[in-house]
């Protein structure tokens, strides 16, 4: 018996050494943790239960039959994060560069299937040279098997990808189909074709970091939701983030005790709106003063910052927050901000996370750039996302709600459950000056000024909308948290269904 156990221990130890000490040292020298060290940071201590430790590839080409490493370049299994179950895979760059063989893919598929069966999120730690070159088409088939599962799992269990090394070629499409991507600065990159191919085909000279590094994808492309400084920071951020997510679409949002009184008043919000309508203020302040303990987990802070998205909690329960940001482009809706918020709204709706929307929006951004790049189609995404969402929706208009953007931003007409306005709200077809210049074209400056004043007096307030029932109540800004908490309590058992359909046809 003891000999058998000794044999098992020997095999385990060999498998855990991955590609060997030299390659582990090389990984450390790049400032990266190994696949197993990463799981140690991500998961609760001692909670990791590994599967498929002894799986090996079956490739016999290019001498591969003599190079077998148990585990085959990916560590898979389950564990807990703050006590909640999660399935994980962590690619091991020390084994054939973390490249994906058919068996490696099979291991990933196994954890995804298990997660789907029991309703638990999947977190993938990506660090891979892509398709295992020696395996050819078997590797491509393996990728497609993973892709198919990403699709089927979408909207069923949350999927989070951490990119912690190379992720190139078709391999990018698995993370791309997961709900969120966090990237590590300087050591990770994602591109469909790398700098060398780019140079050959287009003559452009570009570094890996510029082409597909963490900053590029977190600011320009929005492929990534966050750029973190190093492996540890990324893994700890993933732990914090995980705490906001429901385990599956069958589960309620997680709940945790909060010491923050649900009816806490915030008098400073009564004076946060500047006297002039053109002066900005930071919507982050409104958000932080509303959520539990001021804790707001923002996503995509570097991309389309004219809209803010992220998670907070009210009475210990997760809420999704979408807010126009008057500090950036006056909070206008444009292509990027519409797409950013639409995807977030759809995630919240898929996973029963109530959506709180703070509105201060002067409208859609004008210009040929926006029109020619499809603001019609992209703006419609956000409209569509809000319109189809059946989760509790609470809207607070703090200042401007102009034009089509008023409709889009979780208005009553899109089945907003509770639509509040601060007394500073201005709900109108457009800003007073622009409106008057159209309807009183040709008038002299004095006439325009007088009519602008008249238009402002008539429309630069929330009461016209409230008189029609489009606003449920005009509230004291200081009572915003209390109103939202009460609203969420009322809406806990909200029941609303869209008509039966195979699926919708959101303007992609
Ligand atoms: C097999 C691979 C490999 C791969 C790396 N290795 N990539 N083995 N298949 N795809 C091995 C190397 O041979 C080496 O083995 C070890 O991993 C570490 O690689 P290095 O090159 O020494 O590391 P580094 O200098 O850090 O460079 C990393 C790298 C580079 C940039 C990722 O290895 C690279 O360019 N690899 C090939 C990338 C690629 O073209 N992949 C296919 C993409 S197409 P030893 O034994 O020396 O340690 C694709 C299609 C997917 O993925 C399609 C899905 C639909």
Q: How far is the CA of 213 from the centre of ligand 1 (A)?
A: 17
For residue 229, pLDDT beyond 80 = yes
- pLDDT at res. 93: 97
Candidates 73, 169, 416, 431; catalytic one: 169
Radius of gyration for the chain, computed over Cα atoms and rounded to the nearest angstrom: 26
Q: How far is the CA of 201 from the centre of ligand 1 (A)?
A: 21
For residue 483, pLDDT beyond 80 = yes
Q: Is the CB of 190 under 6 A from ligand 1?
A: no
C-beta separation of 236 from 41 below 8 A: yes
- Integer Cα distance of 282 and 210 in angstroms: 30
Q: Is the CB of 194 under 6 A from ligand 1?
A: no
C-beta separation of 104 from 130 below 8 A: no
For residue 323, pLDDT beyond 70 = yes
| Intra-chain end-to-end CA distance of the chain, in Å | 61
Q: How far is the CA of 96 from the centre of ligand 1 (A)?
A: 7
- Residues 10-44 have pLDDT tens digits of 999 999 999 999 999 999 999 999 999 999 999 99
> Which atom from ligand 1 is nearest to the alpha carbon of 23?
48
Q: Is the CB of 396 under 6 A from ligand 1?
A: no
Residue in 62, 63, 129 with CA at minimum distance from that of residue 101: 129
Question: Would you place residue 496 in the very low, low, confident or very high pLDDT band (cuts 50, 70, 90)?
Answer: very high
Q: Is the CB of 197 under 6 A from ligand 1?
A: no
- pLDDT at res. 169: 87
The two tokens of residue 318 are 């997760």
| CA dihedral of 337, 342, 343, 348, whole degrees rounded to 10 | 130
What proportion of the chain, given as a percentage, has pLDDT over 70? 100
For residue 281, pLDDT beyond 70 = yes
- pLDDT at res. 418: 98
Q: Is the CB of 291 under 6 A from ligand 1?
A: no
- pLDDT at res. 1: 67
**Burial of 301 per CB tally in 10 Å (0-12, 13-18, 19+):** middle
Q: Look over the chain and give the mean of its residue pLDDT values, rounded to a whole number.
A: 96
- pLDDT at res. 170: 82
- pLDDT at res. 265: 98
Q: Is the CB of 143 under 6 A from ligand 1?
A: yes
Which is higher by pLDDT, 454 or 252? 252
SS3 70: coil
Distances (CA, A) of 507 to 22, 42, 377, 504: 51, 37, 6, 9
> Which atom from ligand 1 is nearest to the alpha carbon of 97?
17
Domains of the chain, each with CATH number or no CATH: 2-242 (3.90.226.10), 267-425+461-491 (3.90.226.10), 432-460 (no CATH)
Q: Is the CB of 189 under 6 A from ligand 1?
A: no
> Which atom from ligand 1 is nearest to the alpha carbon of 133?
9
Candidates 155, 404, 434, 450; catalytic one: 404
Task: Label each residue of 430-455 as H, E or C.
Answer: CCHHHHHHHHCCCCCHHHHHHHHHHH
Which is higher by pLDDT, 65 or 39? 39
pTM of the predicted model as reported, rounded to 2 decimal places = 0.96
Q: Is 404 a catalytic residue?
A: yes
> Which atom from ligand 1 is nearest to the alpha carbon of 143?
54
Of 254-258, 306-310, 451-455, the poorest mean pLDDT is in: 451-455
How confident is the model over 308-318, as a mean pLDDT? 98
Candidates 155, 170, 194, 434; catalytic one: 170
Q: Whose CA is nearest to atom 44 of ligand 1?
A: 169
- pLDDT at res. 60: 86
What proportion of the chain, given as a percentage, has pLDDT over 90? 89
For residue 346, pLDDT beyond 80 = yes
For residue 56, pLDDT beyond 90 = yes
Q: Is 169 a catalytic residue?
A: yes
> Which atom from ligand 1 is nearest to the alpha carbon of 19?
48
The alpha-helical segments, DSSP class H, found in 352-492 are: 368-372, 375-388, 403-408, 432-439, 445-459, 463-467, 480-491
Question: Would you place residue 444 in the very low, low, confident or very high pLDDT band (cuts 50, 70, 90)?
Answer: confident
- Residues 403-422 have pLDDT tens digits of 999 999 999 999 999 999 99
For residue 224, pLDDT beyond 90 = yes
Q: Provide CB contacts within 8 A for 184, sequence distance 6+.
A: 162, 163, 164, 214, 227, 228, 229, 230, 231, 233, 234
Residue in 426, 406, 402 with CA at minimum distance from that of residue 414: 406
């Amino acid at each position: 018996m003891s000999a058998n156990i000794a044999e098992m221990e020997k095999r385990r130890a060999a498998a855990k050494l991955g590609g060997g000490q030299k390659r582990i040292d090389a990984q450390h020298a790049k400032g990266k943790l190994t696949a197993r060290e990463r799981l140690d940071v991500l998961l609760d201590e001692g909670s990791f239960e590994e599967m498929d430790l002894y799986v090996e590839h079956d490739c016999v080409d290019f001498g591969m039959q003599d190079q077998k490493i148990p585990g085959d370049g990916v560590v898979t299994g389950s564990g807990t994060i703050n006590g909640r179950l999660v399935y994980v895979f962590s690619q091991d760059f020390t084994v054939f560069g973390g490249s994906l063989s058919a068996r490696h893919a099979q291991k990933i598929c196994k954890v995804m299937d298990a997660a789907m069966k029991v309703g638990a999120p999947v977190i993938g730690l990506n660090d891979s040279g892509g398709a295992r070159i020696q395996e050819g088409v078997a590797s491509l088939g393996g990728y497609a098997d993973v892709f198919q599962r990403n699709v089927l799992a979408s909207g069923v269990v949350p999927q989070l990808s951490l990119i912690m090394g190379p992720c190139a070629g078709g391999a990018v499409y698995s993370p791309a189909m997961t709900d969120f991507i966090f990237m590590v600065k300087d050591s990770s990159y994602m591109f469909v074709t790398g700098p060398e191919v780019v140079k050959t085909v287009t003559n452009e000279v570009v570094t890996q970091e510029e082409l597909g590094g963490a900053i590029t994808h977190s600011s320009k492309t929005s492929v990534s939701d966050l750029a973190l400084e190093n492996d540890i920071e990324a893994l700890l951020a993933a732990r914090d983030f995980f705490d906001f997510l429901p385990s599956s679409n069958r589960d309620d949002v997680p709940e945790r005790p909060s010491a923050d009184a649900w009816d806490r008043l915030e008098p400073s919000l009564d004076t946060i709106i500047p006297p002039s309508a053109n002066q900005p203020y930071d919507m982050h302040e409104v958000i932080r003063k509303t959520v539990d303990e001021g804790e707001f987990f923002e996503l995509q802070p570097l991309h389309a910052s004219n809209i803010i998205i992220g998670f907070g909690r009210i009475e210990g329960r997760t809420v999704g927050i979408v807010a126009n940001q008057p500090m950036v482009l006056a909070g206008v809706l444009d292509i990027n901000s519409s797409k950013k918020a639409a995807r977030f709204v759809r995630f919240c709706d898929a996973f029963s996370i109530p959506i709180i929307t703070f509105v201060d929006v002067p409208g859609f951004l004008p210009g040929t750039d926006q029109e020619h790049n499809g603001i019609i189609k992209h703006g419609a995404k956000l409209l569509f996302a809000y319109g189809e969402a059946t989760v509790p929706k609470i809207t607070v208009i703090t200042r401007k709600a102009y034009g089509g953007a008023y409709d889009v931003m979780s208005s009553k007409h899109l089945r907003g459950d509770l639509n509040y306005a601060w007394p500073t709200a201005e709900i109108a077809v457009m800003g007073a000056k622009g409106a008057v210049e159209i309807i009183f074209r040709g008038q002299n400056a004095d006439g325009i000024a007088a009519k602008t004043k008249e238009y402002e007096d008539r429309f630069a307030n929330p009461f016209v909308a409230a008189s029609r029932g489009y606003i449920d109540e005009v509230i004291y800004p200081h009572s915003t948290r209390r109103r939202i908490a009460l609203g969420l309590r009322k809406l806990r058992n909200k029941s609303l269904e869209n008509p039966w359909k195979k699926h919708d046809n959101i303007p992609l």
